[in-house]
Amino acid sequence: MELLSIQQIEKYYGNRSSLTKALNDISFTVEQGEFTAIMGASGSGKTTLLNCISTIDRVTAGHIYLDGTDITALKGKALNRFRREQLGFIFQDFNLLDTLTAYENIALALSIQKKPAKEIDTAVRKVADQLGIADVLQKYPYQMSGGQKQRVASARAIVTNPKLVLADEPTGALDSKSAKLLLERFRYLNRECGATIMMVTHDSFTASYASRVIFIKDGKIFHEISRGQADRKHFFDQIMDVVTLLGGDMSDAL
């Protein structure tokens, strides 16, 4: 089933004298239950794309449909409701509220939706088990490691059962071991819980956990590969081939 449909979106920055086309006529669709990675060098427009899908930024032209709703037409309260009910966010720098415990950070996403306290407790404990953070729930962000923080942030993103989870460089601030642990969890969420995940990254290793990788260069789709039945290592090699093809632009990001 088609969940997300992106149709010829464009995003321009600046004015007439110096126009930057951050996104230039991008179209693709994402199926329900897919784990998509978007790769590209710095300045390729991948984060802009994610911001447009997450309604943090507005497109200049084109349409984005999520489950049949044109989200580029949403405004004000409808936009806020869409964000809190349909989307889950994971950021590179975790963005946890440092005054709240892990438990409260996760619960906040639900309490903003005005869910009753009992339901909140059950949901938080369930998602904490899934992400392996049940033992840090009463800790504050400053008492946790980076990996734990990112898993708490992930828990916050999926606790509301969003249609789409958006992750912006989720492993960017993690060491390789924590990154691997997090990505294993993402795969688990994707396979066992049926979460649809879209992740922006410039790291081939991170991308290799996805089932499909879209490459972006200069605001356009450069290439796209699907894993199919291949195992992760093999998929990683495939991704590396494309990265090499993309040229020196991305080598510095590796």
Write out the binding residues for other proteins, residues 46-105 only, by CB under 8 A.
54, 56, 77, 80-85, 87, 89, 95, 97-100, 104
Binding status of residue 6 toward other proteins by CB under 8 A = no
- In the list 75, 116, 177, 248, the residue contacting other proteins (rule: CB under 8 A) is 116
Q: At its nearest, how many Å lie between other proteins and the CB of residue 80?
A: 5
Of residues 122-151, which lie at the interface with other proteins (CB under 8 A)?
Answer: 140, 142
Q: Select 123 or 239, whichever has its Cβ closest to other proteins.
A: 123
C-alpha separations of 99 from 69, 84, 147, 148 in Å: 36, 21, 19, 16
Nearest residue (CB) to other proteins, 68 versus 116: 116
Cβ distance to other proteins smaller for residue 24 or 113: 113
Nearer of residues 119 and 237 to other proteins, judged by Cβ: 119
* Footprint on this chain of other proteins (rule: CB under 8 A): 54, 56, 77, 80-85, 87, 89, 95, 97-100, 104, 107-114, 116-118, 120-121, 140, 142, 156
